Structure 1
Amino acid sequence: MADRKKLLIVAHAPSPNTLRLREAVEQGALHEDIENVDVVTLAPLDAGPDDVLACDAIILGTTENLGYMSGALKDFFDRSYYPCLEKTQGLPFAFYIRAGHDGTGTRRAIESITTGLRWKLSQDPLLCRGEYSDTFEEQCQELGMYMAASLDAGLI
Structure 2
Amino acid sequence: MNKSLLIVAHIPSPNTMMLRNAVVKGAENPDIEGVDLVVRTPFEASPEDVLTADGIILGTTENLGYMSGALKDFFDRIYYPCLEVKQGLPYGVYIRAGHDGTGTKRAVESIVTGLRWKPVQGEALICRGEYQDEFKSQCEELGMLMAAGLEAGIF
| CA–CA separation in structure 1 for the residues paired with 2:126 and 2:142 | 11
Aligned length: 154
1:149 maps to a residue whose letter is: A
Alignment match, 2:147:
148
Ranges in structure 1 where 5+ consecutive residues have no aligned partner: none
In structure 1, how many angstroms separate the alpha carbons of the residues matched to 2:48 and 2:85? 11
SS of alignment partner, residue 43 of structure 2: helix
Match of 1:57 in 2: 55
Report what 1:68 is aligned to.
Answer: 66
Question: In the aligned structure 2, how far is the partner of 1:55 from the partner of 1:79?
Answer: 16
Matches for 1:5-154 after TM superposition, within 5 Å: 5-123=3-121, 124-154=123-153
What is the Cα-based RMSD across aligned positions, in Å? 0.4
Deviation at 1:48, TM superposition (A): 1.4
**SS state of the match for residue 148, structure 1?**
helix
In 2, Cα distance between equivalents of 1:80 and 1:12: 16
| Structure 1 residue 98: Cα displacement | 0.1
Percent identity for Structure 1 against Structure 2: 69
State the distance in 2 between where 1:141 and 1:110 align. 20
Q: Secondary structure at the match of 1:145?
A: helix
- The one-letter amino acid paired with 2:16 is T
Amino acid at match of 2:15: N
Ranges in structure 2 where 5+ consecutive residues have no aligned partner? none
Structure 1 runs (4+) greater than 2 angstroms displaced: none
